[in-house]
Amino acid sequence: MVRNRPLWAPEEIDIERPSVARMYDYFLGGSHNFAADRELAEQARKVFPDAPHVVRANRAFLRRAVATLCDLGVRQFLDLGSGIPTVGNVHELAQRIDPGAHVVYVDSDPVAAAHATALLGERAHVHVLHADLRDPEAIVGEAARSGWLDFSRPVAVLIVSVLPFIPDEDDPAAIVAAYRDATAPGSYLAISHGTNDYQPEAVGKVEGVYTRTTQPGVFRSRAEVLALMPGYELLPPGLVDAIRWRPDPCDADLPDPLDGDVTRYSLLAAVGRHD
Ligand SMILES: C[S@@+](CC[C@H](N)C(=O)[O-])C[C@H]1O[C@@H](n2cnc3c(N)ncnc32)[C@H](O)[C@@H]1O
């Protein structure tokens, strides 16, 4: 079926092929998605009805992680797999605390990168890179050469709900380690990751649905997720269910819409520091 292509959609994208970034945008209630994305997202919701709650809990973790990192004095953020801009983007949170905070958004999805560039490209200290996080050398090189981030000072690397899309054969732990090695002592890593520990059958079905996207994904066990953060000392409470990572009862956007049932979220999160 031929579908209308809106003006904001880059010419090179196949709007009939669902994208992880646009399905996530749909679950968040955004408008940068196409019929194919919405149809596949609904199929994912059929096998995992809590998906929209999980994405909200994930964004709530991101907000708490950025607030914590700002409290710890971090003023530079490298947001890898940042997604299509939504409410409460990293620069909004960080620059509320310090207008001089620097944020670089990186995403391999053309719509995410184009929309981020259109919306955020002109903001002070905010930059957008259309790139694949599996090439740390290129991303760090570009951010350093362009003066967007100063890698001699601490940087928080955010990889929030993105590592599921990096299969084992691409060695995600080595990729994370490359960012660790590129950042100064006192830098941080924040991650969240879907887990297959609680509902292996249901998340197996979600994986099946996602094979039809541009970036198939995998859920991992807690031990496997922990192994993706080598060389980082985890801040308390460690790698835990995302809703239990420093919960903020004052968060107006329902950080826990499923009343504490961690099995229904199946989402782990952690923040670590390396010296
Ligand atoms: C589930 S969304 C998460 C968005 C955001 N980090 C958040 O937590 O709200 C995953 C994002 O990762 C991006 N992504 C997946 N693989 C990537 C890669 N290899 N390089 C850069 N971005 C990637 C997708 O395009 C998508 O925007």
Q: Give domain status of residue 250, yes or no.
A: no
Per-residue burial over 128-145, b = 16 or more CB atoms within 10 Å of its CB, e = otherwise: bbbbbbbebeebbebbee
Query: Whose alpha carbon is nearest atom 12 of ligand 1?
Result: 81
Residue 262 maps to a domain: no
Q: Measuring from atom 16 of ligand 1, which residue has the nearest CA?
A: 165
Mean pLDDT in residue range 89-97:
95
Asked if residue 251 is part of any domain, the answer here is: no
242 lines ligand 1 (CB under 6 A): no
Average confidence score pLDDT of the chain: 94
Ligand 1 center from residue 83 Cα (angstroms): 5
Please indicate whether residue 48, judged by its CB atom, sits closer than 6 Å to ligand 1: no
**Best of 87, 159, 165, 168 to mutate for ligand 1, by most ligand atoms within 8 A of CB?**
165
Q: How far apart are CA 210 and CA 39, in angstroms?
A: 12
CA distances from 212 to 201, 216, 250 (A): 18, 7, 38
Q: How many domains does the chain have?
A: 1
- Please report whether residue 249 resides in a domain: no
Return the pLDDT at 248: 87
Model confidence band, residue 254 (pLDDT cutoffs 50, 70, 90): low
Whether 213 is in the pocket of ligand 1, judged by its Cβ within 6 Å, is no
Find the domain containing 54 and state its range: 20-243+267-274
| Residue 259 domain flag | no
**Domain at 157, CATH number:** 3.40.50.150
- Quick check: CB of 129 below 6 Å from ligand 1? no
For residue 111 the two structure tokens come to 């719509």
Mean pLDDT check: name the lowest of 11-20, 181-190, 236-245.
Answer: 11-20
Residue 216 belongs to some domain of the structure: yes
Q: What confidence tier does 4 reach under pLDDT thresholds 50, 70, 90?
A: low
Whether 9 is covered by a domain: the verdict is: no
Q: Is 165 in the pocket of ligand 1 (CB under 6 A)?
A: yes
pLDDT of residue 225: 98
Residues of the chain with pLDDT > 70, as a percent, come to 97
4 within domain boundaries: no
Work out the angle at residue 175's Cα, subtended by the Cα atoms of residues 136 and 15, and round it to the nearest 5 degrees: 75
Tell me, in angstroms, the distance from the centre of ligand 1 to residue 243's CA. Answer: 20
Q: Which atom of ligand 1 is nearest to the CA of 192?
A: 8
Q: What is the pLDDT of residue 275?
A: 92
pLDDT in tens, 101-142: 999 999 999 989 988 888 887 899 999 999 999 999 999 999
Kindly report the pTM of this predicted structure: 0.96
Regarding the beta carbon of 86 and ligand 1, being less than 6 Å apart is answered no
